[in-house]
Amino acid sequence: MQIHPETILSSRDLEVRDGAGERRKLSLRQIEVFRAVMLSGSINGASKMLHVSQPSLSRVVRRTEDVLGFKLFERTGGRLVPTNEAGVLLTLVGRVYRQLDELGEAVDRLTKGDGGLFRLGCTGSPGRCLVPRAVAQMRTALPQLNFQVDVLLIDQIIDYLLFQRGECVVSVFPVRHPLVTCKPIIKGSIVALVPEKHGLAKKKEVTVRELAREPLISFEPNTPHGAMVSRLFEKERLTARVDFLVRHIETAIGLVANGVGIALVDEFSAAEPWRLPISIVRVKNSPPLSLHLSWSKDIVRSQFFKRFEASLMRSLDRKI
């Protein structure tokens, strides 16, 4: 990474003193022009290097000599010959430029996440497909960045964010706390995971009445998923036949794959195809739900957080 000196140096970075101890400061432009003349060997060469007219550079050189109080170049036979003082000054300038190169390399490492760690959390549903998809995109762009992805239960999210154990959390349901920013990023719905050999597996959409006759795999009633399923049936004035209660989406998927029942899940859980004997069927009149990105209001969002959010949004552009 090349960093132009004018973006880094201040007017205090290179100073000389006269015999009385008075500081004489060189401007950024003067340092740059002096170095270019020394490296190219002439005003003409420096002009080509810096893409500036020769008269302009000559004026800068003369002004630099006035500030320093000594000659940098002798004009002999139409040529500029550096003085001994110019040689000493070039050594000092070279030291500054080497430090700039080191700074540039350090900035590069920070930008690429070399040795850094980006830690984030997610609930089980987005943690199955969408978050891994976004992390994979980031990893391609930042192969030196390390990741830690923590799968959380709903009741763990607020402490996770407020104690800054991770920078953000992706969840299907909103996080409500005065010190947490919660941003909905895409809308979704409930889908039914149906065993491939089941009679409903070939349908594009099932009704709640049809589902009420089937053994269901659902989440505990005190969880957001469980409450969502309850509301779905209450709206139709029906009672769900829940034969299997689970806490994790992977458990529900495994039970469906083994043909024991139908699972009602958010569609974000099924965003990535799997090689299992399962069909994904839409549920008619499903209540709306959203995917959310949450973070503590006390943190300054890092560049990796912002890149993760962009990667997550790109991953959502793919068909869910």
Q: What is the pLDDT of residue 14?
A: 56
Name the CATH topology of 5-112: Arc Repressor Mutant, subunit A (1.10.10)
State the average pLDDT over residues 143-170: 93
Residue 272 has pLDDT above 80, yes or no: no
- The pLDDT, as a whole number, for residue 107 is 64
Identify the CATH homologous superfamily for domain 190-287: Periplasmic binding protein-like II (3.40.190.10)
Q: What is the average per-residue pLDDT within 69-86?
A: 84
Share of the chain above pLDDT 90, in %: 45
Q: Where are the chain's structural domains?
A: 5-112, 117-181+296-317, 190-287
At residue 278, does pLDDT exceed 80?
yes
Q: Look up the CATH number of domain 117-181+296-317.
A: 3.40.190.10
- DSSP at 320: -
Mean per-residue pLDDT, 304-315: 92
Residue 11 pLDDT exceeds 80: no
Q: What mean pLDDT is predicted for residues 110-123?
A: 78
Domains 117-181+296-317 and 190-287 share a fold: yes
CA distances from 318 to 92, 167, 301 (A): 55, 25, 26
The CA distance from 19 to 277, in Å, is: 89
- pLDDT reported for residue 110: 60
- Report which residue type is found at 269: S
Question: What sections of 82-223 are H helices per DSSP?
Answer: 84-112, 124-128, 130-141, 157-162, 208-212
Q: What angle do CA 40, 44, 48 make, to 5 degrees?
A: 75
Which residues, 6 or more positions from 166, have their beta carbon under 8 angstroms from its beta carbon? Answer: 119, 120, 121, 148, 150, 160
The predicted structure's pLDDT at residue 192: 95
In angstroms, the Cα distances linking 282 to 97, 189, 192 are: 63, 8, 6
